[in-house]
Amino acid sequence: MCLCLGPAKSGKTLLMKRLQGDEKIDDASHTVPTNGINLFTIKSDDGHFDIIVREIGGSMAPIWHHYFDRVHKIIYVVDASNLCQISAAGVLLYSLLVEPKLQHVKICFVLGKMDLSYRQMRNEALLMLHFNRLIREVSQKITVIEASGMTGQGIELLRNWIFDPETLKAVGSTGNAAAAAAAANAVFTTKK
Ligand SMILES: Nc1nc2c(ncn2[C@@H]2O[C@H](COP(=O)(O)OP(=O)(O)OP(=O)(O)O)[C@@H](O)[C@H]2O)c(=O)[nH]1
Ligand SMILES: [Mg+2]
């Protein structure tokens, strides 16, 4: 199963909508806070496979741990344009990294809202999280992607991370969606 987590208002819903291919996302687009769970169906590049990503609202952080069973991938979104929330985002991230059930997950750390941020802020955000040290010391494999749900920056990188070569290889060699789903540890995958 793939989860999308991160502090409230960090941009998870807009990013997932963009990844899902929702049309007409512009400055006038708005989202409502996720007071629960959103499910997003994400298509692979060639449109042959779907994976369902489960977004859990930032306001639900105290109970995220109820959803950690059978999780193999986490997209963790922070707002790179808001350094005031980076420390809080870091505390939440650390609480995931030490969680016994999540020792073998793959994590995609998304520096979100990059349309409002700039390189120096992005660097500051990583420094504040002691990111270089963090990735050396934790058991999880962490990939960093800069993205924006508003402009679509980084969306294809994120899609490629979700449908990583391991997943696609399993699909190609078996031609079997169920086996692929197991290999991809996706919540649900179907062949079109
Ligand atoms: N400029 C800009 N604004 C964004 C971006 N992503 C989200 N927003 C705005 O930020 C606000 C919060 O976005 P959401 O996607 O709802 O945030 P969330 O992380 O899902 O929040 P919760 O569901 O409450 O945890 C909304 O007003 C969005 O329009 C982005 O990439 N760029
Ligand atoms: Mg949301």
User: Can you give the pLDDT at residue 167?
Assistant: 62
**169-178 long-range CB contacts below 8 Å, 24 or more apart?**
171/48, 171/49, 177/49
Q: Which residues contact 12 (CB under 8 A, 6 or more apart)?
A: 4, 5, 6, 34, 55, 57, 58, 75, 77, 112
Residues 37 and 147: their CA atoms lie apart, in Å, by: 22
Check: CB of residue 71 under 8 Å from CB of residue 1.
yes
Residue 188 has pLDDT above 50, yes or no: no
Tell me if 154 CB under 6 Å of ligand 1: no
3-state helix, strand, coil in the chain (%, to 5): 40, 20, 40
User: Can you give the pLDDT at residue 64?
Assistant: 96
Which of the residue ranges 54-68, 94-108, 147-161, 170-184 would you say has the lowest mean pLDDT?
Answer: 170-184
Using alpha carbons only, what angle is made at residue 19 by residues 189 and 121, rounded to the nearest 5 degrees?
135
Residue 31 marked as a ligand binder: no
Query: Which residues on neighbouring strands pair with residue 106, listed in sequence order?
Result: 73, 141
pLDDT digit string, tens, across residues 20-69: 987 777 676 778 999 999 999 999 888 888 899 999 999 999 999 999 99
Residue 112 marked as a ligand binder: no
pTM of the predicted model, to two decimals?
0.90
pLDDT digit string, tens, across residues 129-157: 999 999 999 999 999 999 999 999 999 99
Check: CB of residue 56 under 8 Å from CB of residue 3.
yes
Give the residue, by CA position, lying nearest to ligand 1 atom 8. 11
Tell me if 14 CB under 6 Å of ligand 1: yes
Tell me if 149 CB under 6 Å of ligand 1: yes
Q: Which amino acid is at 76?
A: Y
Tell me if 13 CB under 6 Å of ligand 1: yes
Give the residue, by CA position, lying nearest to ligand 1 atom 13. 11
Distance 111 CA to ligand 1 centre (A): 12
